[in-house]
Amino acid sequence: MKIGIFGGTFNPVHFGHLRAAEELAQNFLDKVIFIPTNITSNKKMPGIDPEKRMEMLNIAIKNNKKFEASDIEIKRGGLSYSYDTIIQLKKIYPSDELYFIAGVDAYSDVKNWKNGAEIFDKINFIVVNRSGMKSDSKNLVKLTGFLPDNLKERIKLEYSQNRLVTPKNKYIYFLKITRLDISSTAIRNNFKNNISNLFLLPNEVINYIINNKLY
């Protein structure tokens, strides 16, 4: 089975995340597992409990058979390093193909993550586009630029498949999705300023945020 691992702070989850996952589940993956961080290692947390971010995810995905949410990073506690999560998931799903889903911004920094060079030996990646990105072949070359130096020279570009192939035969796909111009930061600011968030995230998540006075 092809399983997408969608890691994020999800503070809160919104239709941008959900639409990306939906299109990948329709066209490429058999299942998407959303994994909220316990503490995102490179971000100052605005004080929202991981359990509440997990609850918002559970509410958002409950009617989609191909979506799951996992609390493995929350249960592990401390700072959430994707490398640790990937090692754990490979033990849970030894015979499935795992794909870490990331936007271009997140992907462009992976080499600086904990064990950033090794991550590319352990798991496939799906990098999804940002609004305004055009030519696929140029983007594939651009993805190479973000790799650790020792990998850059040994990577193969397969334009027909929109992917890079590592020496360990892991794939880094560049896949186009409908990138909705929605951000968690803008949503939090809207809540703070009493501006409507309708149609940016599911209504039930909006109600949960209001009832729990999250932002």
Residues that bind ligand NAP in the complex, under the rule CB under 6 A = 7-10, 16-17, 20, 37, 40-43, 80-83, 102-106, 113-114, 128, 179-180, 182-184
Of 3 and 182, nearer to ligand NAP (C-beta) is 182
Nearest approach in angstroms of CB 114 to ligand NAP is 5
Q: What angle do CA 208, 210, 211 make, to 5 degrees?
A: 65
Nearest approach in angstroms of CB 107 to ligand NAP is 7
Phi, psi of 86 (to 5 degrees): -65, -45
Of 81 and 191, nearer to ligand NAP (C-beta) is 81
Give the 3-state secondary structure of residue 79.
strand
Nearest approach in angstroms of CB 101 to ligand NAP is 7
Nearest approach in angstroms of CB 47 to ligand NAP is 15
Nearest approach in angstroms of CB 44 to ligand NAP is 11
Strands in 97-103's sheet, in edge-to-edge order, are: 67-69, 31-36, 2-8, 97-103, 124-128, 171-175, 163-165, 156-158
Length, in residues, of the chain: 215
Q: How far apart are CA 119 and CA 131, in angstroms?
A: 26
Cis ω before 12 (30° cut-off from 0): yes
Of 51 and 156, nearer to ligand NAP (C-beta) is 51
Q: How far apart are CA 180 and CA 167, in angstroms?
A: 34
Contact between 12 and 54 (Cβ < 8 Å): no
Of 47 and 95, nearer to ligand NAP (C-beta) is 47
Q: How far apart are CA 42 and CA 187, in angstroms?
A: 20
